[in-house]
Each structure stands twice: as structure tokens, then as C-alpha cells.
Amino acid sequence: MIKVAINQCFGGFCLSEKACQFLGIPEDDAYSYMLVDETQRVDANLIRCIETLGLEVNGDSANITIVEIPDDVEWHIVNYDGCEHIAENHRTWR
């Protein structure tokens, strides 16, 4: 299983000051993880931070959680006004 960090409320993925300290990043970079970059969202240090700090990981208007998906699934993060979910990749025609 792959662990992926997502935000489950409107507002956006934002880390708390405590989470930034845990990760050793400047607080100004708290929003850098908001970008939909799957490599950041599966980072082992970020996952450990969320598992360790629990609710204290959340910055302003955030409800960060970990979603586990099967290893063999091709996936991406879908973001609507900051509220995110994981979707399986599939083909689309227009």
C-alpha cells in the first residue's frame, strides 16, 4: 500500500508551524506542499510527521489525513477549492 497525504476540507493543504519544525522547513514553505505534487505527498518524512503529530499537523483551514491506496494503482490527486481526494488514472477523450 502507498500512503498519500491529502487535505479533506475546503481551504487547502497547509502545514502548521509545529509540522514545519518537525520537517525542518521554513514556516514560509508551509504552503509549498499544497501544490499537487504526488512526490511530496508520499514523502516518508511528511507521512511520519502526520502520523506523529496527528491533528497538530494542520495549518490554517486544513484537515490533513493519510489515504492508503494499492501499490499497483496509477493515481493522481484531485483538488476542488482545497478539498482533495485520490482518483485512479484512466483514459479521457474530448
At 79, which helix (H) or strand (E)? strand 75-80
pLDDT at 75: 94
Which three cell numbers, joined as nine digits, stand for 12? 487547502
CB 82 within 8 A of CB 61: yes
Q: Which domain holds residue 74?
A: 2-88
29 part of a folded domain: yes
State the pTM of this model. Answer: 0.88
Top pLDDT among 25 and 66 is at 66
16 part of a folded domain: yes
pLDDT at 46: 94
Per-residue confidence band for 33, with pLDDT thresholds at 50, 70 and 90: low
Count up the domains in the chain and report the number.
1
pLDDT digits (tens, 9 = 90+) for 36-78: 678 889 999 999 999 999 999 999 889 999 999 999 999 999 9
93 part of a folded domain: no
Per-residue confidence band for 32, with pLDDT thresholds at 50, 70 and 90: low
* 81, amino acid identity: D
Top pLDDT among 27 and 49 is at 49
At 53, which helix (H) or strand (E)? helix 44-53
Q: Which residue has the cell 495549518?
A: 59
CA distance 31 to 84: 15
37 part of a folded domain: yes
Does the structure show a pLDDT above 90 at 10?
yes
